[in-house]
Chains A and B, each alone.
Chain A
Amino acid sequence: MTEASTQPVLEISHLSVALPSSGDRRHAVIDLSLTIQPGEIVCVVGESGSGKSVTAQAIMGLLPKGQLVAERGTIALQGEDVLKASPDRLREWRGTRMAMIFQEPMTALNPVLTVGDQIAEMLAIHTDLTAAEQRARVLEMMQAVHLPDVERMIDCYPHQLSGGQRQRIMIAQALILDPALLIADEPTTALDVTTQAQILKLIKEMQERRGTGVLFITHDFGVVADIADRVVVMQHGNLVESGTRDEVLLAPKRPYTQMLIASVPSLVPPHREPVSGPVALQTINLGKTYQGTGGFLDKERVVKAADQVNLILRRGETLGVVGESGSGKSTVARCIARLIDPSEGQILLDGLDIAHLPEKTLRPHRRHVQVIFQDPFRSLNPRRTVGQSIIEGPMNFGLSENEALSRARDLMGLVGLSPDALSRFPHQFSGGQRQRISIARALAMQPHVLIADEAVSALDVSVQAQVLALLDDVRKRFDLALLFITHDLRVAAQICDRIMVMQKGKVVEEGATRTLFANPQHTYTKALFDAAPGHDFTKR
């Protein structure tokens, strides 16, 4: 890219994309200019609504018809303007000159076609290869992205593969025709941290070998630190700041960038005094076994989702349960809340074993354990007002409507919302506000134990910091025992007194946060720390 004759892979100049007139702002992208050279990885960073995904869609010519219109500017792909290309020409370029990988590899692959067919489709669309030649090329490409046992896997369906394998399939599909530009839209957000590290490495490897220019969209500064050559920061459709990775990450000039970087939780835990309150929750050899209901002629499958889990949680303490998907951390949380029935062991809530209580005797104890779920867009009933959602629980436990409402009003103030929010519906709030509502809903029950199941994972980092602060505040104020389930080590480092690491249903390591982060013992814990994106960068 030092040669003067080298043409940029992508050159966007003064691009503006208009939103439909009903929207709250006029443009999704305003006057954006950026350039990507061959072999360069440019990260576009921003929170939701920053216009980063719309930019990607505009480049691919995939803006939703009639909703978003590229009003002004040019998008030059190897010198030719995408915005002026005919639909046929554009179709020809997709796959050959530019290709895209998406956030969620499960939904981005067609569930009813084999992965081999889907990769081969690229060849079928753009080349004249015979079926046998296509298959050979697909196998070759699958090997190049380090998929195992490709001869067998080529005929598998997406659901038979793991998340990481599916994303490798997406990458193989995107790169099989050697496009000059690869657009990666949050390609690792839905993946576990160890898988994420592998996929980032793979993208880098493929890109270096082929000299592909990469537009990498992400909200995660850890990922940026690991992969970017240059960084572009966007907010509300505007370009806020751009520069090399070190310029932007180490010496951000604009307040917004500084705020974003400051919001990224550090991997170094602060000092915390051990908590010595009374024990609120204890599990003894808690286990949950799932048995596949094999009909006749079928073998039974047994999965131990949680196995011999022992934990102690005191009032005023935050215990983090960390692990990747399938580690059993959510299973444990759901057993404790008795949303599912544990197969064995005891759950002592304020000294009483609730593990196997029948629903009728359990009911009075339910209010003591409350859960905040991951996705605030789905955990609130869209057809009920916020007030109705909050007062329902307390009223079930004997409060009059007026008492419940007055409590709800107090709680609204506590979580930083105005009391008139009670008469509105969930869709009128942002993600962060909805999570505040979920917290208020849980607190309305005056619980002893609060379970936060990936409660901040779906939020933007600036909002995440605020919600974490709120959670910590209510823990202190109400002397709550907080069970904090997360896959994010950075978040765990900042909020938890103690950490429990789970793998495949078992607790592999446990200890005070600071000790555990300073000196992890188990190989799996070590692997988790190594995989955490940008760990070099934030330790600096």
Chain B
Amino acid sequence: MWLFILRRVASTVPVMLIVAVVIFAMLRLTPGDPAVVIAGDQATAEQIARIRASLGLDLPIHEQFVTWIVHILQGDLGTSIFTNMPVSTLIGQRLEPTMMLTLTTVIFSVSVAVPLGVWAAWRAGTWTDRLIMMFSVLGFSFPVFVLGYLLIYQFGLTLKWLPTQGYKSPFTDPLGFASTIVMPTITLGMIYIALVTRITRASVLEVLGEDYIRTARAKGQVERKVLFRHALKNAAVPIATIIGIGIALLIGGAVVTETVFNIPGLGRLVVDAILRRDYPIIQGLILVFSFTYIIINMLIDIAYTMLDPRIRY
């Protein structure tokens, strides 16, 4: 078991390296000189040369790559072209809100969606099932920003229960965090709940037809335990997969949600950086997102082996 985890962790290194090469190449191989792009239309040849030197673009390509990797390993992701602040600092500042929002969304969505999906599967073909599935279709098709503004209107403006905007850190202001995070979590979680509910329903439904479910009932087991002890654990692999894939979706959804609720997270940083063509930031963000995704994938793989003893790599 530990050996497997060790191997799985080790195997992320080459993947991360490949990702790094691709990201590096993306910037170097785009048509035109990045220094020219960075410097803008009215730059003199001198300015361009200075930028080129500051970016290390005058060095041979393999040397550039090595310096770049070494810098990354030291936590140096370059400097923002516009704010002149280190990219790592910028990302660091914005990381917490996004991570917190993702975390609360995942916890909230999974704890709503999985029981809902199991319930729908158990009651397959009945009105309960149809209602849950209808709700799930709605969750898919309801645009994030519409839901966000509806929530703000209802709970923020009309009922005045919750603040409409902003973010408070849970480490300094737990109550403030709780009140500001509720609506973004629901907003961002909706599509995720819809997705996970559907997959849970489908995969539990399949498992419910298995022989060992009949065995469990023949033992006199109560329905709740038949569902959650016997069925759910067997259905867990596809569910875990979709939860993992969904996290990538959340990162996309977070951009919109953070804009609607004015949360200073990575999503906002992405938008700003793209609008201003701040290449070092974009590069840094892609790197952070990719690595996060690789790590999530690794965690899912490890989770598989815990969920299903037959899976060994």
Q: Which residues on A are within 8 Å of B, measured CB to CB?
A: 60, 62, 90-96, 99-100, 102, 104, 107-113, 121-122, 125-126, 157, 159, 170, 173, 295-297
- Distance in angstroms between the alpha carbons of A126 and B219 in the assembled complex: 9
- Distance in angstroms between the alpha carbons of A292 and B229 in the assembled complex: 33
If A111-B310, A295-B7 touch, whether A91 touches B222 (CB-CB below 8 Å) is: yes
Residues in B whose Cβ lies below 8 Å from that of A107: 210-212
- Distance in angstroms between the alpha carbons of A211 and B77 in the assembled complex: 77
Across the two chains, which residue of chain B brings its CB closest to A106? B211
22 contacts between A and B (CB under 8 A): A62-B218, A91-B220, A94-B217, A99-B218, A102-B211, A102-B214, A102-B215, A108-B211, A109-B215, A110-B233, A112-B233, A112-B234, A112-B307, A113-B230, A122-B219, A125-B219, A157-B310, A159-B309, A295-B313, A296-B7, A297-B3, A297-B7
Interface residues of B in 223-250 (CB under 8 A from A): 229-230, 233-234, 236
Residues in A whose Cβ lies below 8 Å from that of B234: 110-112
- Distance in angstroms between the alpha carbons of A157 and B312 in the assembled complex: 13
Interface residues of B in 173-228 (CB under 8 A from A): 210-212, 214-222
Residues in B whose Cβ lies below 8 Å from that of A92: 220
Q: Which residues on B are within 8 Å of A, measured CB to CB?
A: 3, 7, 210-212, 214-222, 229-230, 233-234, 236, 307-310, 313
**Nearest-CB distance from B294 to chain A (Å)?**
18
Across the two chains, which residue of chain B brings its CB closest to A105? B211
- Distance in angstroms between the alpha carbons of A62 and B307 in the assembled complex: 28
Q: Is the CB of B211 within 8 A of A96?
A: no
Minimum-distance CB pairs A-B, first 9: A94-B220, A107-B211, A110-B212, A91-B220, A95-B220, A157-B309, A108-B211, A100-B218, A112-B233
**Nearest-CB distance from B307 to chain A (Å)?**
7
Taking a contact as CB atoms closer than 8 A, the residue among A93, A108, A159, A295 that contacts B215 in the complex is A108
Residues in A whose Cβ lies below 8 Å from that of B210: 107
Residues in A whose Cβ lies below 8 Å from that of B313: 295
Q: Is the CB of A110 within 8 A of B220?
A: no
If A110-B212, A157-B310 touch, whether A94 touches B218 (CB-CB below 8 Å) is: yes
Q: Is the CB of A95 within 8 A of B214?
A: no
- Distance in angstroms between the alpha carbons of A154 and B196 in the assembled complex: 34
**Nearest-CB distance from B251 to chain A (Å)?**
31
Q: Is the CB of A109 within 8 A of B218?
A: no
Q: Is the CB of A60 within 8 A of B216?
A: no
Taking a contact as CB atoms closer than 8 A, the residue among A109, A126, A159 that contacts B220 in the complex is A126
Taking a contact as CB atoms closer than 8 A, the residue among A111, A157, A173, A297 that contacts B219 in the complex is A173
Residues in A whose Cβ lies below 8 Å from that of B236: 112
Taking a contact as CB atoms closer than 8 A, the residue among A100, A111, A121, A157 that contacts B221 in the complex is A121
- Distance in angstroms between the alpha carbons of A296 and B234 in the assembled complex: 29
Residues in B whose Cβ lies below 8 Å from that of A99: 218-219
- Distance in angstroms between the alpha carbons of A91 and B210 in the assembled complex: 19
- Distance in angstroms between the alpha carbons of A100 and B234 in the assembled complex: 22
- Distance in angstroms between the alpha carbons of A52 and B7 in the assembled complex: 51
Residues in A whose Cβ lies below 8 Å from that of B309: 111-112, 157, 159
Residues in B whose Cβ lies below 8 Å from that of A108: 211-212, 214-215
Residue among A62, A90, A110, A121 with most chain B CB within 10 A? A110
- Distance in angstroms between the alpha carbons of A94 and B215 in the assembled complex: 10
- Distance in angstroms between the alpha carbons of A331 and B234 in the assembled complex: 31
Residues in B whose Cβ lies below 8 Å from that of A296: 7
- Distance in angstroms between the alpha carbons of A102 and B313 in the assembled complex: 31
